[in-house]
């Protein structure tokens, strides 16, 4: 499959929770957790951060540089996330792209491994774990070929297709692969868009540390749900 790059989109200009990519979780910025988890996906040759040309993202770039994390700017404007992925993937010379986002600090490397394996083994141009009901918001992972990303970049013209990277690709991929975990996942949101969700994730990391896996997450969610149910009944 040539060179595989995990590209993590991150910006500091979130309207709902500004600067969330650098929000502290268990002693490290949120983005640090995503990068380190992405590095544990077998078959990924490079892990980089993609951000915009906005002056507001310079602090994010400076942090990445201090941490030795490759960071690139791209996209015609702040909401052109598809263009950003294409620009960065082109600079990297990537043949396969694993798409992650900087607001998913609980991302599971085993999920990424399954998605990438599905793409390769099924000879697909697009694979993901987000199009089935065994899915946790916060474990999001997509993989696609550079050919499909390039087609998307030049043919996707609607604003929504530019902002949501794979919207066009999902509709037009010649062959798609779906990765379905072999366990039942709880209905919980572990991506971070609000302060309440940040507090939830911080609580998980405080209990489990930095190096937890899927089994630990499932047990933690089950225990928390039982505690919440008990509180309601009290």
**Tell me: the pLDDT tens digits for 56-102?**
999 999 999 999 999 999 998 999 999 999 999 999 999 999 999 99
Confidence of residue 43 (pLDDT cuts 50, 70, 90): very high
Residue among 74, 113, 78 nearest 92 (CA) = 74
The fold for domain 4-233 equals: Spore Coat Polysaccharide Biosynthesis Protein SpsA; Chain A (3.90.550)
Provide the percentage of residues in the chain whose pLDDT is more than 70. Answer: 97
Closest listed residue to residue 7, CA positions, set 132, 117, 166: 166
In contact, 97 and 7? CB cutoff 8 Å: yes
**How far is Cα 191 from Cα 181, in angstroms, rounded to an integer?**
18
CA atoms of 8 and 31, how far apart (whole Å): 9
d(CA 47, CA 68): 11
pLDDT of residue 234: 62
158-210 confidence digits (pLDDT tens): 999 999 999 999 999 999 999 988 887 888 899 999 999 999 999 999 999 99
- In this prediction the pTM is 0.94
Tally of CB atoms within 10 A around 91: 15
Question: Phi/psi at 142 (nearest 5 deg)?
Answer: -135, 150
In 99-194, which ranges are continuous DSSP H helix?
Answer: 109-121, 146-155, 159-163, 167-172
Half-sphere exposure of 212 (CA within 13 A, CB side): 20
- pLDDT confidence band for 119 (50 / 70 / 90): very high
Mean pLDDT score across all residues of the chain: 93
* Token pair 């010649």: residue: 174
């Amino acid at each position: 499959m040539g060179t595989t790059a995990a590209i993590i989109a991150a910006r500091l200009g979130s309207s709902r929770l500004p600067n969330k990519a650098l929000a502290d979780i268990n002693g490290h910025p949120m983005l640090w957790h995503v990068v380190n988890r992405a590095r544990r996906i077998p078959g990924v040759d490079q892990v980089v951060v993609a951000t915009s040309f906005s002056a507001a993202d310079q602090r994010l770039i400076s942090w990445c540089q201090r941490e030795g994390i490759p960071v690139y700017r791209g996209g015609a404007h702040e909401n052109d996330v598809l263009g950003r992925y294409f620009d960065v993937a082109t600079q990297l010379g990537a043949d396969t792209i694993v798409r992650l986002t900087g607001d998913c600090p609980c991302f599971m490397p085993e999920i990424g491994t399954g998605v990438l394996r599905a793409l390769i083994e099924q000879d697909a141009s697009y694979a993901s774990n987000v199009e089935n009901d065994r899915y946790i918001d916060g474990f999001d992972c997509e993989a696609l070929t550079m050919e499909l990303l390039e087609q998307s970049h030049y043919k996707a013209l609607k604003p929504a297709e530019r902002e949501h990277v794979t919207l066009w690709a999902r509709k037009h991929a010649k062959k798609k692969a779906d990765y379905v975990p072999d366990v039942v996942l709880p209905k919980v949101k572990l991506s971070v868009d609000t302060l309440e969700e940040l507090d939830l994730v911080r609580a998980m990391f405080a209990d489990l540390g930095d190096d937890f896996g899927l089994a630990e997450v499932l047990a933690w969610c089950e225990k928390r749900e039982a505690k919440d149910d008990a509180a309601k009944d009290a």
